[in-house]
C-alpha cells in the first residue's frame, strides 16, 4: 500500500472522527510571527525560586505551593537507554538527560524569560569589560555524600575536565575564541572568576554545564582519557555516585528502566524550609519505540508523554473523561532534517568514505536542489503530524529569536526538480529510472534511527518522493548507536534523516554542527587530524559567521551573522529541513506544580512537582 492510498484513508478517518476539527478548535495554534526577541516562550506564570539564608546556608527556595512528600513520577525514553551516566562523556541526548538529572550547573535557564538564573551559584556578575564573570557560590550546600560544594569543585571541573578536553568536547569547543579558551580561577572558597579573551556573548549560557565533585572525579582524571571514558558507566554501582542534583541513581536495568531516588542533601527548600524534592522516586522506562510508549501510557504504566500529531485529536477528545491534561508547548525547539554526505576524501586505508560515483551527485548543488524540491513537506505535516506542525526550511527552529524570516517557504515542484537534474546531465530511461551523465543508475541508501516511528514514516515518504524523480532509494532504519557511529566515526553513509536539539535563544549552541572542524559537522565530517583542510567556500563563510556572531555583543549585530548562516544552508542545502511539529504533552492530573514551558518542557521543575492522590 503506497502513501497516496494511506493519505486517502487518513482523510476519511479524519472526517469520521472529526479529528482535524477537534485539533483546530481545542488546541490553539502557535502564531510564529508573534515571536520576538522578548516573546520567546508561551505566557505561563512560574513562581521563580528565591535565595534565602538559613543558619549560614544559602538555599534556593521554591515559591511554588507547598506540596506533599512521597510518591513517584514514571516517564519514558525511546531506544536502548543511556550509554553512560558521566555528564562529561555523554555523546547522545539520552545519556546527557540521564546524567543531567544528577549534576547541576552554576546557572540554568529561566523557563519563561529565557534568562540565565542561579543554581549552584548564588549570584553572578558580568564586569563592565564584558570579559570578566564573577560567580558567587552558595555557602554551606553539600554533595550527596555530605562534603561541601566549593570553588575547588568548579575550578577543577572547568580546568581539568572541560578545558582539558576529556570526554565529550562540545562545551570546550563552543568556547574557543581566536584559538584561545577562557580562564577560570578561585578567588576564595565560594567565589570564582571566569575571564574570556574577548567579549563573548554565548559564554554566560555555558555556565549551565554540570559541576563535578573533585574528590570523586580527580582520581579518574589522573588516570587519563581512556579510563575517564569508562568512568561512571552504566555498570557503575549506584552507591558510587556523588551528586548535586535533586535525584540520585538507585537502579539501572539495561533496556528496562532507570530509577532515581531523592537526594536528601539537595539545596532547594520550600517555603516551610523543608528540603526538596517532594517525589521519592523518578523512573524512566526504556521503551523500544513510540508505539510501545503510547501503549504504556494508555495502560497507566507511565505518567507523562509527548504525543505525535496523529495521536493528539484522540487524546484531546478523551481528555475530559480521563485522568490526564494536555499541554501545548508550541513549536519544537529541535529540528528534523535530511542530510547528504558531502565527504569526498579517503580514509587511512586510502579508500573513499563515500563511493566516488555518489560523491559527484552529492557534491552537485543541482542534485541537492532537486532533492529539496522533491520533498513534499505539506504532505508529511498532514499525514505524519496530522496537521499539527509547519514545514521547515531553516536550521533555526520556528521559535528561535534568531529565525531568518526572509527565507521564504516553497511547495513541492517535481518539474523544477527535474530541470535542475537535467542541468547537470541526469536523464531518465524509458522505464523512468534516473541515470547520471556517465550512465550510472542513481541509487543510494537512506538511513534513520530504528524505533523512532516518526522518522521512519518520514523516511518512507522521502523514499517515495525521490523515487518520483527516478532515483532508487534503499531506506534502512538502523539502531541509533550504529547510526551515530556511521555519522561521526566511519562516515560511511549516503543520506540520513535525523534531528538536532538546539536553543531558540543561542545559535552558538550549534557551533559544533556548522563549524568546518566541528565534532558534529556530519555532512562533511573531518577526522581530528584534518582540521580545516579542503573546506568548501561556503563552509569557510559559515566558520566566519559563527566566529563573528559569538563575538558581537548586541542582538541586532549578532542577528545579521546568524541570518546569513541560515541563508547559506538554505542555498547550499547540505541539510534539507523537513517540518517543525507542535509539542503536545500529556501528564496525569495527580501531579501538581506543573508549569509548562516551551523552552524547558513540562517537567523542568521536577524538584517542585508532587503527587496529590485522591
- Residue pLDDT, tens place only, 159-214: 999 999 999 888 898 888 888 999 999 999 999 999 999 999 999 999 999 999 99
Lowest mean pLDDT among 19-28, 242-251, 521-530: 19-28
Q: Are residues 265 and 214 in the same domain?
A: no
Residue-level pLDDT at 260: 98
- Same domain, yes or no: 213 and 240: no
Is 72 within the bounds of a domain?
Answer: no
Give all strands of the β-sheet with 121-126 in edge-to-edge order: 121-126, 132-137, 191-195, 183-188
Q: Which range marks the domain in which residue 304 is found?
A: 3-45+234-330+583-611
Query: What is the reported pLDDT for 150?
Result: 98
Beta bridge partners of 430: none
Domain check: are 364 and 248 in the same one? no
Residue 124 lies inside a defined structural domain of this protein: yes
- Count the domains in the chain: 3
- Same domain, residue pair 152 and 102: yes
Let me know if 94 is exposed, middle or buried by CB neighbors in 10 A (0-12, 13-18, 19+).
buried
In a domain, 70, yes or no: no
Region 82-106: mean pLDDT is: 93
Task: For residue 68, tell me if it sits in a domain.
Answer: no
342 and 310 in a common domain: no
Q: What is the pLDDT of residue 44?
A: 66
Same structural domain, 211 and 250 = no
Question: Is there a domain that residue 71 lies in?
Answer: no
Task: Check pLDDT > 80 for residue 23.
Answer: no
Please give the pLDDT value at position 590. 97
Question: Whole-angstrom Cα distance, residue 260 to residue 245?
Answer: 11
End of a domain among 196, 229, 262? 229
The answer to whether residues 178 and 225 belong to one domain is yes
Confidence of residue 614 (pLDDT cuts 50, 70, 90): low
Provide the CATH number for the domain around residue 326.
3.40.190.10
Determine, yes or no, domain membership for 454: yes
Answer whether 547's CB lies under 8 Å from 534's CB. Answer: no
Q: For residues 241 and 248, what is the distance between their CA atoms, to the nearest angstrom? A: 7
Rounded to whole angstroms, the Cα distance separating 434 from 470 reads 5
Dist. CA 468–CA 417, nearest whole Å = 10
Same domain? 397 vs 515: yes
Render pLDDT for 413-463 as a digit per residue (tens, 0 to 9). Answer: 999 999 999 999 999 999 999 999 999 999 999 999 998 889 999 999 999
pLDDT of residue 527: 85
The CATH number given to whatever domain includes residue 168 is 3.90.76.10
CB atoms within 10 A of CB 30: 21
Mean pLDDT taken over the chain: 90
The predicted model scores a pTM of 0.83
Residue 17 scores a pLDDT above 70: no
The pLDDT assigned to 309 comes to 80
CATH number assigned to the domain comprising residue 546 = 3.10.105.10
- 430 and 506 in a single domain? The answer is yes
Task: Give the pLDDT score at 21.
Answer: 29
Instruction: Look at residue 553 in the predicted model and tell me its pLDDT.
Output: 85
User: What proportion of the chain, given as a percentage, has pLDDT over 70?
Assistant: 93
Q: Between these two residues, 33 and 468, which has the higher pLDDT value?
A: 468
In a domain, 13, yes or no: yes
- pLDDT beyond 70 at 60: yes
- Residue 69 domain-assigned (yes or no): no
pLDDT digit string, tens, across residues 64-88? 999 999 999 999 998 788 999 999 9
* Residue at which a domain ends, from 229, 263, 296: 229
* Band of pLDDT at residue 15, cut at 50, 70 and 90: very low
What average pLDDT does the segment 98-109 reach?
Answer: 96
424 with 389, same domain: the answer is yes
Q: Which of 41, 44, 34 is nearest to 595 (CA)?
A: 44
354 shares its domain with 424 = yes
Within this chain, do residues 360 and 394 fall inside the same structural domain, yes or no? Answer: yes
Amino acid at each position: 500500500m503506497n502513501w497516496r492510498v494511506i493519505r486517502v484513508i487518513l482523510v476519511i478517518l479524519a472526517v469520521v472522527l472529526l479529528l482535524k476539527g477537534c485539533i483546530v478548535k481545542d488546541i490553539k495554534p502557535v502564531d510564529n510571527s508573534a515571536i520576538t526577541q522578548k516573546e520567546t516562550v508561551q505566557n505561563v506564570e512560574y513562581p521563580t525560586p528565591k535565595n534565602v539564608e538559613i543558619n549560614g546556608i544559602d538555599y534556593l527556595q521554591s515559591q511554588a505551593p507547598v506540596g506533599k512528600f512521597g510518591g513517584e513520577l514514571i516517564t519514558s525514553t525511546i531506544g536502548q537507554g543511556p550509554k553512560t551516566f558521566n555528564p562529561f562523556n555523554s555523546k547522545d541526548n539520552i545519556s546527557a538527560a540521564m546524567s543531567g538529572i544528577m549534576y547541576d550547573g552554576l546557572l540554568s535557564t529561566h523557563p519563561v524569560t529565557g534568562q540565565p538564573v542561579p543554581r549552584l551559584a548564588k549570584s553572578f556578575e558580568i564586569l563592565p569589560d564584558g570579559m570578566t564573570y564573577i560567580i558567587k557560590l552558595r555557602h554551606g550546600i553539600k554533595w550527596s555524600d555530605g562534603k561541601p560544594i566549593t570553588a575547588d569543585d568548579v575550578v577543577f571541573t572547568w580546568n581539568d575536565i572541560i578545558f582539558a578536553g576529556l570526554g565529550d568536547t562540545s562545551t570546550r569547543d563552543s568556547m574557543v575564541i581566536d584559538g584561545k579558551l577562557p580562564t577560570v580561577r578561585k578567588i576564595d572558597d565560594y567565589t570564582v572568576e571566569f575571564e574570556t579573551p574577548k567579549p563573548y556573548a554565548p559564554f554566560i549560557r555555558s555556565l549551565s554545564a554540570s559541576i563535578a565533585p573533585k574528590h570523586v572525579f580527580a582520581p579518574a582524571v589522573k588516570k587519563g582519557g581512556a579510563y575517564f571514558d569508562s568512568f561512571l558507566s552504566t555498570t557503575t554501582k549506584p552507591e558510587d555516585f556523588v551528586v548535586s542534583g535533586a535525584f540520585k541513581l538507585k537502579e539501572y536495568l539495561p533496556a528496562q528502566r532507570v530509577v532515581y531516588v531523592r537526594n536528601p542533601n539537595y539545596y532547594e527548600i520550600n517555603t516551610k524550609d523543608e528540603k526538596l524534592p517532594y517525589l521519592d522516586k523518578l523512573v524512566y522506562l526504556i521503551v523500544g519505540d513510540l508505539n510501545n510508549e503510547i501503549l504504556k501510557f494508555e495502560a497507566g504504566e507511565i505518567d507523562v508523554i509527548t504525543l505525535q500529531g496523529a495521536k493528539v485529536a484522540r487524546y484531546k477528545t478523551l481528555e475530559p473523561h480521563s485522568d490526564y491534561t494536555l499541554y501545548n508547548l508550541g513549536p519544537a525547539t529541535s529540528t528534523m532534517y535530511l542530510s547528504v554526505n558531502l565527504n569526498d576524501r579517503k580514509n587511512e586505508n586510502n579508500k573513499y568514505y563515500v563511493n566516488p560515483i555518489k560523491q559527484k551527485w552529492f557534491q552537485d548543488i543541482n542534485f541537492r536542489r532537486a532533492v529539496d524540491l522533491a520533498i513534499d513537506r505539506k504532505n508529511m505535516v498532514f499525514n505524519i503530524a496530522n496537521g499539527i506542525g509547519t514545514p521547515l526550511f531553516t536550521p533555526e527552529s520556528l521559535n528561535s529569536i534568531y529565525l531568518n524570516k526572509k527565507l521564504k517557504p516553497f511547495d513541492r515542484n517535481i518539474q523544477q526538480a527535474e530541470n535542475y537534474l537535467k542541468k547537470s546531465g541526469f536523464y531518465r530511461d524509458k522505464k523512468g529510472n534516473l541515470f547520471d551523465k556517465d550512465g550510472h543508475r542513481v541509487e543510494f541508501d537512506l538511513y534513520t534511527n530504528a524505533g523512532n516511528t516518526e522518522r521512519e514514516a518520514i523516511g518512507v515518504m522521502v523514499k517515495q518522493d525521490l523515487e518520483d524523480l527516478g532515483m532508487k532509494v534503499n531506506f534502512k532504519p538502523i539502531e541509533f548507536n550504529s547510526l551515530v557511529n556511521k555519522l561521526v566515526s566511519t562516515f560511511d553513509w549516503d543520506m540520513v534523516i535525523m534531528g538536532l536539539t538546539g536553543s531558540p535563544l543561542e545559535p552558538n549552541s550549534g557551533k559544533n554542527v556548522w563549524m568546518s572542524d566541528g565534532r558534529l559537522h556530519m555532512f562533511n565530517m573531518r577526522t581530528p587530524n584534518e582540521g580545516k583542510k579542503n573546506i568548501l567556500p561556503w563552509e569557510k563563510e559559515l566558520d566566519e559567521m559563527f566566529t563573528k556572531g559569538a563575538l558581537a555583543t548586541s542582538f541586532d549585530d549578532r542577528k545579521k551573522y546568524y541570518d546569513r548562516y541560515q541563508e547559506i544552508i538554505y542555498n547550499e542545502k547540505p541539510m534539507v529541513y523537513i517540518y517543525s511539529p507542535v509539542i503536545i504533552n500529556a501528564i496525569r492530573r495527580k501531579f501538581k506544580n506543573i508549569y509548562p514551558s516551551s523552552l524547558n518542557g513540562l517537567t523542568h521543575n521536577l524538584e517542585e512537582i508532587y503527587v496529590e492522590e485522591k
